């Protein structure tokens, strides 16, 4: 590994990161972002550059001459529908959109790895840089995986990092097994019948059922989950009838986000929630319908892949923090780690750094070189002959 080369690449990656930050695009509209990345990486002379994977996704492939593992490094293309409130020259020019999760930084690091491959071609196997779309909505990875061109790649390993505020800069936060929670958005619809407000008896008003449902959802985790398991239901939104005082409501909707540390517990929560709504609604003459959205699997780290990250972090002199419990947030990487030996780890963004998804957040550029060195070290273990 050539540290001065990486130092030089980190500077170029930082310039790219700031450019990406200025033009953020939310999930499913990442066309320009993908084009910017493609332009930068075309110059690194990859063997294949696939565009339009699972939406605006991009896969950039560098082949080794000998047989070896297919090693994927993932970044995310999307920004958030959150206004950018940072006071720098590269502040977002797209109103109401901002890189508030640091995906600009993750992209810059993975693009930087491509610049490294330009100078040090993989000797064996393949290195794949994947820029997935729509991470924030949990849709992108599913569509990427469904793409026939991606299926041909068959990655043996998948690596990704997320910057994590609240942890000292340059520390590596990792754990074997579940790293980030599964989550799902739940929409329960209660269909009754409107009537004149003077004759509620002539209609079917879902108000009381809705109220009971809200109470029940809040206590659902305690009822279905056994000791030591984690489940959380957070109420998000509710709606009943219309703002019309002459009308008795005939329709209600309740939305909640479900979280758990395993896909199995999520399945139980889903089953029990639907069953409960039906049990509550039927005797009252209400019809029910359900929608599930923003579906994330639990991100489960493979031991071998996680071990490799620890080794490389150690070699690079980085402090490793072993996390006792998984993070309660979710990551679309879960579908990749479900597919292959994958690991998602954190790199500390600083103890006092603004939180992810907050208007004042900005990716800390000084961890770019740390991340690049770590990814290059991982690559050197898998696609280079030592
Ligand atoms: Zn995010
Ligand atoms: Zn993120």
Neighbours of 84 (CB within 10 A): 25
Tell me the pLDDT band of 225, cut-offs 50, 70 and 90: confident
User: pTM for the whole thing?
Assistant: 0.94
Residue 277 tokens read as 């709504």
d(CA 67, CA 329): 37
For residue 106, the ligand closest to its alpha carbon is 2
Per CATH, domain 182-295 is 3.30.70.360? yes
Residue 224 tokens read as 């279905």
pLDDT tens column, 326-379: 999 999 999 999 999 999 999 999 999 999 999 999 999 999 999 999 999 999
Distance of CA 52 from the midpoint of ligand 1 (Å): 22
Distance of CA 158 from the midpoint of ligand 2 (Å): 16
Domain positions in the chain are 3-180+298-382, 182-295
Does position 2 have pLDDT exceeding 90, yes or no?
Answer: no
For residue 102, the ligand closest to its alpha carbon is 2
For residue 136, the ligand closest to its alpha carbon is 1
Are 150 and 51 in contact by the 8 Å Cβ rule? The answer is no
Distance of CA 356 from the midpoint of ligand 1 (Å): 7
Distance of CA 135 from the midpoint of ligand 2 (Å): 7
Does position 280 have pLDDT exceeding 90, yes or no?
Answer: yes
Give the pLDDT score at 172: 98
Strand, helix or coil for residue 274: helix
For domain 3-180+298-382, which CATH number applies: 3.40.630.10, 3.40.50.300, 3.40.50.720, 3.60.10.10?
Answer: 3.40.630.10
> What crossing angle do the helices spanning 3-22 and 31-42 adopt, rounded to 10°?
150
Give the pLDDT score at 226: 83
Does position 57 have pLDDT exceeding 80, yes or no?
Answer: yes
pLDDT tens column, 99-136: 999 999 999 999 999 999 999 999 999 999 999 999 99
For residue 100, the ligand closest to its alpha carbon is 1
d(CA 230, CA 352): 28
Are 365 and 109 in contact by the 8 Å Cβ rule? The answer is no
Does position 1 have pLDDT exceeding 70, yes or no?
Answer: no
Based on its alpha-carbon atoms, the radius of gyration of the chain, rounded to whole angstroms, reads: 23
Strand, helix or coil for residue 87: coil
Distance of CA 103 from the midpoint of ligand 2 (Å): 6
3-state SS track over 190-241: EECECEECCCHHHCECCHHHHHHHHHHHHHHHHHHCCCCCCEEEEEEEEEEC
Average pLDDT of span 244-268: 97
pLDDT tens column, 295-340: 999 999 999 999 999 999 999 999 999 999 999 999 999 999 999 9
Residue 158 tokens read as 């998948």
Distance of CA 36 from the midpoint of ligand 2 (Å): 19
Give me the residues paired with residue 233 across strands.
Answer: 258
For residue 80, the ligand closest to its alpha carbon is 1
Please give the full DSSP string across 153-185, using - where no structure is assigned: H--SEEEEEEEETTS-TT-EEE-SEEEE-EEEE
Quickly list H helices, the chain. 3-22, 31-42, 103-119, 140-146, 148-153, 207-224, 263-281, 303-315, 334-339, 368-382
Distance of CA 296 from the midpoint of ligand 2 (Å): 13
Residue 53: closest CA among 157, 139, 159, 136: 139
d(CA 330, CA 199): 46
Give the pLDDT score at 385: 87
Ion ligand 2 nearby residues (CB, 5 A): 101
Distance of CA 101 from the midpoint of ligand 1 (Å): 4
Distance of CA 25 from the midpoint of ligand 1 (Å): 13
φ, ψ at 132 (rounded to 5°): -90, 145
Distance of CA 195 from the midpoint of ligand 2 (Å): 46
Does position 254 have pLDDT exceeding 90, yes or no?
Answer: yes
For residue 105, the ligand closest to its alpha carbon is 2
Distance of CA 137 from the midpoint of ligand 1 (Å): 9
d(CA 313, CA 343): 14
Does position 227 have pLDDT exceeding 90, yes or no?
Answer: no
d(CA 60, CA 56): 13
Token match 């061109």: residue? Answer: 149
> What does pLDDT average to over the chain?
97
φ, ψ at 4 (rounded to 5°): -70, -35
Distance of CA 136 from the midpoint of ligand 1 (Å): 5
Does position 143 have pLDDT exceeding 70, yes or no?
Answer: yes
Does position 151 have pLDDT exceeding 70, yes or no?
Answer: yes
């Amino acid at each position: 590994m050539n540290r001065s080369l990486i130092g030089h690449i980190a500077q170029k990656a930082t310039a790219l990161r700031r450019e990406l930050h200025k033009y953020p695009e939310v999930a499913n509209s990442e066309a320009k972002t993908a084009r910017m990345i493609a332009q930068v990486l075309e110059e690194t002379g990859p063997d294949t550059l696939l565009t339009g994977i699972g939406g605006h996704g991009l896969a950039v492939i560098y082949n080794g001459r000998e047989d070896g593992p297919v090693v994927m490094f993932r970044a995310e293309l999307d920004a958030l529908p959150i206004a950018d409130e940072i006071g720098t020259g590269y502040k977002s020019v797209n109103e109401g959109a901002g890189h508030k999760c640091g995906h600009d930084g993750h992209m810059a690091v993975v693009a930087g790895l491509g610049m490294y491959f330009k100078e040090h071609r993989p000797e064996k196997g393949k290195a794949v840089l994947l820029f997935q779309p729509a991470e924030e909505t949990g849709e992108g990875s599913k569509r990427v995986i469904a793409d026939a061109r991606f299926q041909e790649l068959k990655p043996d390993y998948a690596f990704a990092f997320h910057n994590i505020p609240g942890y000292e800069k340059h520390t590596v936060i990792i754990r074997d097994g579940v790293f980030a929670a599964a989550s799902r958005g739940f929409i329960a619809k209660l269909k009754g019948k409107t009537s004149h407000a003077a004759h509620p008896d002539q209609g079917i008003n879902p108000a009381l059922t809705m109220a009971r449902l809200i109470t029940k959802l809040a206590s659902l985790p305690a009822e279905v989950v056994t000791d030591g398991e984690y489940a959380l239901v957070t109420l998000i939104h509710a709606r009943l009838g219309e703002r019309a005082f002459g009308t008795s409501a005939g329709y209600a909707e309740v939305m909640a986000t479900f979280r758990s540390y395993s896909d199995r517990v999520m399945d139980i929560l889903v089953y029990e929630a639907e069953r409960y709504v039906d049990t509550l609604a039927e005797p009252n003459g209400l019809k029910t319908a359900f929608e599930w959205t923003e579906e994330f699997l639990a991100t489960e780290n493979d031991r071998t892949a996680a071990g490799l990250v620890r080794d490389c972090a150690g070699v690079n002199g980085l402090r490793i923090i072993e996390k006792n419990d998984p993070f309660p947030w979710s990551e679309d990487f879960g579908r990749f780690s479900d597919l292959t030996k994958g690991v998602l780890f954190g790199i500390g963004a600083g103890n006092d750094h603004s939180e992810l998804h907050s208007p004042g957040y900005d990716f800390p550029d000084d961890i770019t070189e740390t991340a690049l060195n770590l990814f290059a070290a991982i690559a050197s273990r898998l696609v280079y002959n030592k």
